[in-house]
Structure 1
Amino acid sequence: MELRQLAYFDAVVRHGGFGRAAEHLHVAQPAVSVQIRKLETELGVALLARTTRRVELTHAGELFLVHARRALGAVESGRAELEQLSGAVIGRVRIGAIQALDPFDLTGALAAFHVAHPGVELALRSGRLAALLEDLDVDRLDLAVGPLAADLPDRFAATPLFDDELVLVTHPAHRCAHRGALRIGELRDEPFACLPAGSGLRAILDRLAAAEGFTPHVPFETASLPRLRDLVAHGLGVGLFARSVAEAPGPPVAIHSVAPEPVRRPVGLLHHTGRPLSAAAAACRAFIFERRLAP
């Protein structure tokens, strides 16, 4: 039995098929199939039930998966301890982040980490929280920076980094532009510009509007935060988004705290509790956390 076979088996289960597992492992699909068959032959049982549409664990596969992942975790922990003994941190860290991160300078933190640990390869991409959590689930990301939602599943560990204020944004000539704080109910008849349905920001907008007794009309949806700001700045609607986005360079807008209480959204560093972090990912996580209050 080879460690590679255990890794291939785990990947097929995580990604729901041989093709996606092969893509994640950067190998040809037949190589994955061959190694899984060899593993099943050695064990004398079928681990996976194959159909034309999906791959599912057999009962034997469910039992063996626990031991396979335990073995893979032990090897990863051993590798991490050896890296610590050598004094050099090496490896690769894949990080995902939401778009709005001010006041935290993630780019600066990663640049400083790269200087301190040049043997670590860094990869960064942005996305919505739901997509980042999915990628943590299937091991496409090691770490993610995103909102700490109240319903965040227990399988994700969260380290707070900063609080982000969400504000209402209107055109400078809007009837409420001269006002300070606004109740969202005062904008109930306005078209809203917001992230698409399913996003954390959209859920907050819907929740705040529901508390004021209405459902927001959202004709303008985009995954681009700068475009949301532009839509409001051109008078096409009103918006609810991070103060850092509202205060970004661009055409003028009017910014209003939410009444009766400001809305603050905690943002933190996330990782999956079901897999041990590599030494490189653990070092990067600690480094980012220590930089959270850096100017």
Structure 2
Amino acid sequence: MELRQLKYFLAVAQEANFTRAAESVHISQPGISAQIRQLENDLGATLIDRSGRSVTLTAVGEVVHDHARSVLAAVESLRQAVDEMNGLVRGKLVVGMITACTVTPLFDALSGFHLAHPGVEITLLEEESGKLVEYVRKGTVDLALIGAANRVPDDLDGWQIVSEPIAAAVPPDHPLAESTGATLAELSGYPIICLPEGTGIRAVLDQASAARGLTPTIALQASAPSTVINLAERGLGVAVLSESMIAQHKGLRTVPITDADAAAVLALISTPTKSPALRELLSHCQQSFTGAESGGLVRVSGAVAR
């Protein structure tokens, strides 16, 4: 019995199809079939029922499936322990980030990590924050940059990068341009331009409005803050963004929203269990964000602090 045979067996069990399983582990279909036949011969039992349109596990196969997962997990833990002792980092990391969000220190961290550990494959995934949280919970994403309202999920480790109020942005000729502040009720009288659902800024706006029984009219939405600003500059509505995003554009007036209590949070999240590679990447993130405009990483959730 070989470890690769257990790996192939798990792939077939997951895909319920020899061809798709072969593609997932980068082997030919005849090759994976032969390896599993050899595994069955070694164990003296049929593990896979091949009589139907899709393959299924036999009763013995179900038992072997659980043990195979445990064996491969134990081997991976052993490999990680040895790598840590040798100071080596390898494997694969999936990093998620909010769509159209440019955070230079994160890119610097990825670059520094890649130079230090070229053997680790890095995959970057753009998605909205809500989905990234679920991906991290499921383990399909190792580290994610998300936006949230007030705080990151309690069941995940989190490091705050930015926490600031949301605000409105209007052209100089807008009725609110000279206001020192506006309530959500006052903003509801105008079309709103905002980021899409799943972003921290939108979550703050939606939650604060709902708490006051308000439903703002979202006339336009865009994934990039610069697009929201450009649309507002052309008089298409009131932009709602974070104060720092608005401050970068001198063509609009900032109007504080006086009754949006929660802050828009930008944070990194990960599962509490971390591979050596992920720990190294987090170390690079700490170095990159320290001294950046955000002021560095502040742990806001997880085992160290709340």
1:186 corresponds to 2:183: no
Match of 1:208, SS? helix
Match of 1:206, SS? helix
Q: Give 1:15 shift.
A: 8.0
Separation (CA, whole Å) in 1 of partners of 2:37 and 2:202: 46
Partner of 2:251: 252
1:163 corresponds to 2:162: yes
Distance 1:141 1:193, change over 3 A: same
Whether the 8 Å contact between 1:96 and 1:141 is mirrored in structure 2 is yes
Whether the 8 Å contact between 2:129 and 2:198 is mirrored in structure 1 is no
Unmatched 5+ stretches in structure 2: 293-306
Whether the 8 Å contact between 2:192 and 2:217 is mirrored in structure 1 is yes
Partner of 1:218: 218
Separation (CA, whole Å) in 2 of partners of 1:46 and 1:178: 74
Q: Give 1:101 shift.
A: 6.1
Q: Give 1:188 shift.
A: 0.9
Distance 1:82 1:193, change over 3 A: same
Partner of 1:289: 286
Whether the 8 Å contact between 1:49 and 1:56 is mirrored in structure 2 is yes
Partner of 2:234: 234
Distance 1:121 1:197, change over 3 A: closer
Separation (CA, whole Å) in 1 of partners of 2:216 and 2:25: 44
Distance 1:196 1:278, change over 3 A: same
1:79 corresponds to 2:79: yes
Distance 1:261 1:202, change over 3 A: closer
* Identical columns (%): 32
Distance 1:134 1:44, change over 3 A: farther
Deviations 1:262-289 (A, max 9, x none): 542333322345xx54322221123323
Whether the 8 Å contact between 1:196 and 1:222 is mirrored in structure 2 is yes
Distance 1:86 1:193, change over 3 A: same
Distance 1:260 1:208, change over 3 A: closer
Whether the 8 Å contact between 2:109 and 2:285 is mirrored in structure 1 is yes
The alignment yields a C-alpha RMSD, in angstroms, of 4.1
Separation (CA, whole Å) in 2 of partners of 1:43 and 1:170: 72
Whether the 8 Å contact between 1:192 and 1:239 is mirrored in structure 2 is yes
Partner of 2:174: 174
Deviations 1:131-161 (A, max 9, x none): 323544565432212135668383xx32223
Partner of 2:266: 267
Which stretch of the first structure deviates more once superposed, 62-71 or 263-272? 62-71
Whether the 8 Å contact between 2:192 and 2:237 is mirrored in structure 1 is yes
Separation (CA, whole Å) in 1 of partners of 2:267 and 2:62: 33
Deviations 1:94-122 (A, max 9, x none): 211124465x7212222333344444443
Whether the 8 Å contact between 1:171 and 1:233 is mirrored in structure 2 is yes
Aligned residues: 288
Match of 1:235, SS? coil
**TM-score, with normalisation over the residues of structure 2?**
0.71
Which stretch of the first structure deviates more once superposed, 25-34 or 71-80? 25-34
Distance 1:73 1:89, change over 3 A: same
Distance 1:68 1:277, change over 3 A: farther
Distance 1:21 1:153, change over 3 A: farther
Q: Give 1:40 shift.
A: 7.3
Whether the 8 Å contact between 1:168 and 1:238 is mirrored in structure 2 is no
Distance 1:294 1:272, change over 3 A: same
**TM-score, with normalisation over the residues of structure 1?**
0.74
Q: Which amino acid aligns with 1:281?
A: L
Which stretch of the first structure deviates more once superposed, 170-179 or 191-200? 191-200
Distance 1:223 1:110, change over 3 A: same
Match of 2:133, SS? helix
Whether the 8 Å contact between 2:176 and 2:255 is mirrored in structure 1 is no
Q: Give 1:127 shift.
A: 2.1
Deviations 1:147-189 (A, max 9, x none): 35668383xx322232332422322222112223332221112
